[in-house]
Structure formats: structure tokens, C-alpha cells
Structure 1
Amino acid sequence: MSWSDFMKDTVGRLDVLQKETPETFAGFNQMGRAAKSNGALDEKTKEFIALGIAIATRCDSCIAFHVKSLVRLKATREELCEALAMIAYMGGGPSVAFGAKALEAFDEFTGGPAGTSV
């Protein structure tokens, strides 16, 4: 699976829905900006939390968006793997499998180590 193609397709579908429900998206986007603003926790920490929730809820689109944000925020592969270990500990087998997807997305978005597709 190409995470870049998956993101492009997902954004296209969301754009169609946003045209039909602009108020909902405006509210959701405003909530996201407020939630991600730096405070006691910085944005990168908050994105790691969001990634944990994305993995726990098994949402591929959410995984892709939050991994992409972590790349933008200059998260390292080591930080990501450490977070994935904690996520796996809390979520068991399914979180291990979806954590592997998150690592695959990170590697694709950063041009990092290539692994086997999950």
C-alpha cells in the first residue's frame, strides 16, 4: 500500500464531504487548531497521543494524518518506535499490527528504512 496515494484519496473524499457539510468541517478544524496549540503539552506530544488513539480505534486515515503531522514536527523514528511500543503495551495485538502500519507510513513519508508491507 502506498500511504501517499492513500492520503491523496482520503483527502479527495474528505473534500467532497466538506463541500456538503462546510459548517461541520469548520467546527472540526477549529477544534483541531485549539487542541493542537502549544500549552502544557507541545504539539508533537499531542500528535503522539492522537496517533495512539488512531491506532487503538484502527483508523488508517487517522494514522496517516497523525504520522504526517509527526513528520512535519520532526519526530524521529526512534521517538515513533518508542511511542509505538507503549501503544502496543496498552492495546495488545491489534495495536501491534496497526503500529506496524504507522511505522510503514512514517518510513514512506520520510524516505526512511524500507520494510515489508503490512
Structure 2
Amino acid sequence: MDRRSIVEFPVTAQSAGATPAITIYSTAVCPYCVAAKNFLKSKGQQWTEVRIDLDPVEREKMMAKTRRTSVPQIFVGDVHVGGYDDMMALHRPGMSAADDGSKDRIAEFTDFRKRMNERILGEPNQVVRRFFALDTQTYQAGALDVKTKELLGLVASMVLRCDDCISYHVAQCKDAGVTREEFFETFSVGLVVGGSIVIPHLRRAVDFLDQLEGGAAAPEAHEH
């Protein structure tokens, strides 16, 4: 049974044993968990919910099975679908059963960014072009090395709550050699400066990092 089963099979098929049970690892304060459950409900699916905020053992099990720390994490039987974004990517028309949904978010982010940058820079507006050039120059090595500048960009993006900016700087930081421990120290600075409203963006940043560490290709370096 492939991962697309989660969006293709109605509850009647599931109850008849045609589809393995769906399991969602979640927490009480996760908006993406709620969104995932609402989507499954709209597709006529049933699921078993495992609250990792109530059971540290289940949290450890989830992390061991998925190599991720974020929620939701969704399974069809023993097949790991991924998080909310992964599930929604499987639902989009044209997605084949063989596609690796765990890499969709990074691939889509990279493709969209490249396509729109080319579109924007194709316009004869010198202010826009000069700003993009300035962005590129800003992150080149100087008194501060590239790694330090990308970490600064990551903190600023977290405080500004710009998910695209966060994803971009996470990818560039990883390419610059930032370790997971360094990432989380940087995340902690962004969280302290930005406050609790940064937490949803922190979740998505960690999920993006997990996918990069799983082997997905990072976007090319600047411009934004």
C-alpha cells in the first residue's frame, strides 16, 4: 500500500480492510495537527491519534521511526507519509505514488523561488535589480564569514516570522556547515528575541531542517 492511500481511499474501504489504519502523532497546541485531521475528515478517513505531549515514550518512538521532532507525523499502516505539508503534496494533482513527498516542500520552494526570481529580474526595474544584487553582496564573506552572516539572517527571519526567509537561511546555513547543535542555539536566540509567537515558525524551520538532513536538495545560494 503506497502513501497516496491516505487521500484516495474512503472510510468504507478502510473499514473493509482495504487500507491500513492511519496514525497521527500530534500535540494539543499544534495547528497543523488540527489542519491534518480536518483534511482527513473531509476525505472520509478515520485515524488513531497519538498525543506525544502526554506520553514521552510515544514521543521517543515517533522520533525513532521518523527522524523528525515536529508534529504532525502521519502513517498509513507502517508507511510514513510525513507531516501536514507532505500529506497535502500527495493530494495535489499530478503527484505520482512513487514521488518522495518528504522532499516536496524543499523542491517546490526551490522551484518557485527560482522561477519567480527569473520572472522578477526579467522586468526592467533597476531598483528591484539593485536590491537583489545588494542582497547577494550582503551575504558574501567579509569581516564576518558566510556562516555567521547566514545565521544572522536566520535569526532576523525568525523574528520577522517570514517562513520563506527562514527556509532559505536554514538551507544556506546547512550548506555553510552549521551543525544541528548550532542550529538549535540559533533557533533559541530567535525564539527569545521574537517571543512565543515565533514557535509555529520554529516548528516549520525544524521540519525543513529534518528534510534537508534526510537528503533533500537545498536551494542554490542568493538571491532570495
TM-score bucket (shorter structure): 0.7 to 0.9
Counterparts of 1:21 and 1:3, CA distance in 2? 29
Secondary structure of the 2:122 match is: helix
Counterparts of 2:214 and 2:176, CA distance in 1? 16
Give the CA deviation at 1:14: 2.6
2:56 paired residue number: none
Give the CA deviation at 1:70: 0.8
Q: What is the letter of the counterpart of residue 7 of structure 1?
A: T
Instruction: Give 1 or 2: higher strand fraction.
Output: 2
1:46 paired residue number: 149
Question: How many residues get paired?
Answer: 112
2:192 paired residue number: 89
Give the CA deviation at 1:22: 5.5
Structure 2 unaligned residues grouped into runs of 5+: 1-84, 86-104, 216-224
CA RMSD of aligned residues (A): 2.0
Shift in alpha-carbon separation, 1:26–1:59, aligned structure 2, 3 A? same
**Deviates most, 12-21 or 37-46:** 12-21
1:33-74 deviation per Cα after TM superposition (whole angstroms, max 9, x unaligned): 331222332111111111111112221221121111112111
Q: Any runs of at least 4 consecutive aligned residues in structure 1 with deviations exceeding 6 A, and if so which?
A: none
Counterparts of 2:181 and 2:113, CA distance in 1? 27
Higher relative contact order (CA 8 A, sep 6+): 1
Q: What is the letter of the counterpart of residue 184 of structure 2?
A: C
**Deviates most, 86-95 or 6-15:** 6-15
CA contact (8 A) 1:4 1:109 kept: no
Q: Please, which of 150, 170, 173 is the counterpart of residue 67 of structure 1?
A: 170
Structure 1 unaligned residues grouped into runs of 5+: 113-118
Higher Rg:
2
Shift in alpha-carbon separation, 1:60–1:23, aligned structure 2, 3 A? same
> Does residue 204 of structure 2 align to residue 101 of structure 1?
yes
Counterparts of 2:125 and 2:167, CA distance in 1? 23
Counterparts of 1:98 and 1:5, CA distance in 2? 18
TM-score (ref. length: structure 2): 0.45
Give the CA deviation at 1:25: 4.6
Give the CA deviation at 1:89: 0.8
Shift in alpha-carbon separation, 1:11–1:33, aligned structure 2, 3 A? closer
Shift in alpha-carbon separation, 1:29–1:13, aligned structure 2, 3 A? closer
2:106 paired residue number: 3
TM-score (ref. length: structure 1): 0.80
Shift in alpha-carbon separation, 1:111–1:21, aligned structure 2, 3 A? farther
